[in-house]
Amino acid sequence: MITVTDEAQKKVLEFMEQTQESCKGLRIRARKLGHHTFAYDLTLVLEGEDTAQDVVHEMDHITVFLDPQSAEWLEGTTVEFVTDERGSGFKIDNPQAKVEWDDPVAQKVQEVLDEKVAPALASHGGWVELVRVEGDTAVVQLGGGCQGCGMASVTLTDGIQKAILESVPEIQRVVDATDHASGDNPYFS
């Protein structure tokens, strides 16, 4: 089950009312980018754009349409509409995108990546995942706009590594395990 908060539903309803065509609801798609990194697409569903395979959720104000794979990946997700110092938009809290490590050092690294690094990379179409911690080394993998990007090494040393070393004293270096040669959508071409 997916939850769309009342405020988020009302915002979607505003968008629906602005369309010139008959609008049936909101489609939410989840795309898996890495092992636990997702990208989300929110689009209005116009008349005739729904399919027999859609998983349909009737909310108080809107109808939400999910393809079967997205329904699986979004199980337990909450969609909110938030406003803060950076602006306003939809915020998706997907429990399947949260990573828990048994190793406390790996968990600290994960928290730094989630809270400090991921938002900056996402603004450029990129993402980072912790692969493992080996002794005093964190091994990460980059993807999206970061994979194959000419600035990936700078992002790694001046952004990712710096953030991790400042926050996790047990880590002394960060290694990039990304196959940058196979990147097909670098932010900087």
C-alpha angle 9/118/137, rounded to 5°?
150
Assessment of whether the complete model's pTM goes beyond 0.85: no
Q: Which residues, including other chains, have CB under 8 Å from residue 31's CB and lie 6 or more apart?
A: 38, 39, 40, 41
Cα 14 to chain centroid distance, Å, stands at 24
Residues of the chain with pLDDT under 70: 149-150, 152, 181-189
Q: Each residue of 14-27: pLDDT tens digit?
A: 999 998 889 999 99
**Domains of the chain, earliest start first:** 3-97 (2.60.300.12), 104-182 (3.30.300.130)
Q: What span, in angstroms and rounded, lies between the C-alpha atoms of 12 and 86?
A: 20
Contacts of 160 (CB under 8 A, 6+ apart): 113, 117, 128, 140, 174
Task: Output the pLDDT for position 154.
Answer: 74
